[in-house]
Amino acid sequence: MDVLIAAGLVAALFIALASGLWIGMALLAVGLIAMELATSRPVGDSMVLTIWGAQSSWTLTALPLFLWMGEILFRTKLSEDMFKGLAPWMNRLPGRLLHVNVIGSTIFAAVSGSSAATCATIGRIALPELRQRGYPESLAVGSLAGAATLGLLIPPSIIMIVYGVAADVSISKLFIAGIVPGIVLASLFMGYIIVWSLFNPSKIPAAEMGMPFMAKLYASRHLIPVVLLIGAVMGSIYTGVATATEAAAIGVLGSLVLATVEGSMSWKTFTEGVGAACRVYCMIGLILAGAAFLTLAMGFVGLPRHLAEFITAQNLSPFALVLALTLFYIVLGCFLDGISMVVLTIGVLLPTVQAAGFDLIWFGVFTVLLVELAQITPPVGLNLFVLQGLTKHPLTYIARTATPMFLMMLVAAVLSYFGQDLILYLPNRM
């Protein structure tokens, strides 16, 4: 009977999500139904206590702060300066300025924490420049769609904060663990651009007139502000000077100073940044509240236990379990955004993951890699929507151009299984 109830609730959840109901409200509604069916406890009391516990976490304070930092930088000249600083160094590399998409996204990801913000910010600057210089549109759009997902993996990451709260693990260690996989994934993206360019040399514009080395160094002065900000945020975490939440406050202060020095800060910019961060956090907070209550309700129904028993009964090896989870998240990513995927699944999957002997810090990085795939999978890939707004191309065209980057991310997810010790090397030394 428990299995039938659990299956019915899962079906009800998908129906509620497909109906267009707000995700947080859909989670709360299904949790309410589950509590009524599975327990005689006062549902109202359980809901209030669960939501309060989920929202009052001190660790969660880092989330709105990093969101605010990203919104401030989104309104500065940071991305334009990054293009000026990076472009001279890419001239001799196969693919040339296409690599600015990847490196620019990598750098901005380290001060943003959001895939959509990275995509929009780098896209506004890089795509017009690449189009004007005659670079192939498909590779310019596709490489940006993939590279922008680094906003989820390279710290500070909004998804990592959500996972850390859901799994009750150190967010600081999660941040540090994301550095190496982020660099590897960026290298895979650049490697694909290089190989494609070598096979299609006629489609890449000729190299521009070279600059003397000292001139390149002088152009790189535009990178100094963002490098200093990254150093302040990540350096304070890695050295133990600050927790993730305190580092977020340092990042906000640094971004405010940066925007003021650049002349981008005004009362309008300030209020728009605060308002945008509040709106995004309210959306995420409602999802987290609904997910916490649904997780409690599913525990009473017995869904985590039944799922763990089912997977255990399959006698899957650890690698087979990783492949099964990869397929599961790819399918889920076609219908849900990244945050919803994490909060809906982590509570259910953690017992199974722990039973398989996986480190929860590594599993967090692995989960984020899979959530990144959801950013470029139709019909609800957020980066696809952002790029559609920027380029006016059909969603199907953008998804097709992003397919090679999707495959690179799959390769990175598989490599993460064999490179667990490498991923955990830095966090284990904190």
180-194, 270-284, 287-301: range with lowest mean pLDDT: 287-301
Q: What pLDDT does 251 receive?
A: 84
Q: What is the pLDDT of residues 125-183, one digit of tens each?
A: 788 878 888 889 999 999 999 998 888 888 878 888 889 888 889 888 998 999 899 99
Quickly state the pLDDT bin for 417 (edges 50, 70, 90): very high
* Alpha carbon distance 185, 191 (integer Å): 10
201 pLDDT more than 80: yes
pTM for the complete prediction? 0.77
123-132, 270-279, 332-341: range with lowest mean pLDDT: 332-341
* Alpha carbon distance 234, 236 (integer Å): 5
Quickly state the pLDDT bin for 423 (edges 50, 70, 90): very high
Q: What pLDDT does 91 receive?
A: 76
76 vs 369, residue with greater confidence: 369
**What number is the average pLDDT over the span 274-280?**
83
Residue (of 55, 68, 150) closest to 343 by Cα position: 55
1 pLDDT more than 70: no
Q: What is the rounded (10 degree) CA torsion for 97, 103, 109, 114?
A: 40
Q: What is the pLDDT of residues 299-318, one digit of tens each?
A: 677 665 666 567 667 778 88
75-89, 92-106, 228-242, 354-368: range with lowest mean pLDDT: 75-89
* Alpha carbon distance 110, 118 (integer Å): 10
Quickly state the pLDDT bin for 6 (edges 50, 70, 90): low
CA 151, 157, 158: angle at the middle one, nearest 5? 105
249 vs 336, residue with greater confidence: 249
Cβ distance 10 to 2 under 8 Å? Answer: no
Cβ distance 364 to 175 under 8 Å? Answer: no
**What number is the average pLDDT over the span 368-381?**
80
- Cα dihedral sign, 402-176-336-287: negative
* Alpha carbon distance 418, 140 (integer Å): 31
Q: What is the pLDDT of residues 213-237, one digit of tens each?
A: 777 777 777 777 878 887 888 788 7
User: Residue 212 gets which letter from DSSP?
Assistant: -
Cβ distance 378 to 396 under 8 Å? Answer: yes
Quickly state the pLDDT bin for 209 (edges 50, 70, 90): low
401 vs 391, residue with greater confidence: 401
Q: Chain-wide mean pLDDT for the chain?
A: 81
Domain boundaries of the chain, sorted by first residue: 2-429
2 pLDDT more than 60: no
7 pLDDT more than 90: no
Q: What pLDDT does 197 receive?
A: 92
* Alpha carbon distance 135, 399 (integer Å): 19
Q: What pLDDT does 186 receive?
A: 92
Instruction: Pick left, alpha or beta for residue 240 (phi over 0 → left; psi -120 to 50 → alpha; otherwise beta).
Output: left
219-223, 348-352, 369-373: range with lowest mean pLDDT: 219-223
High-pLDDT (> 90) share of the chain, %? 15
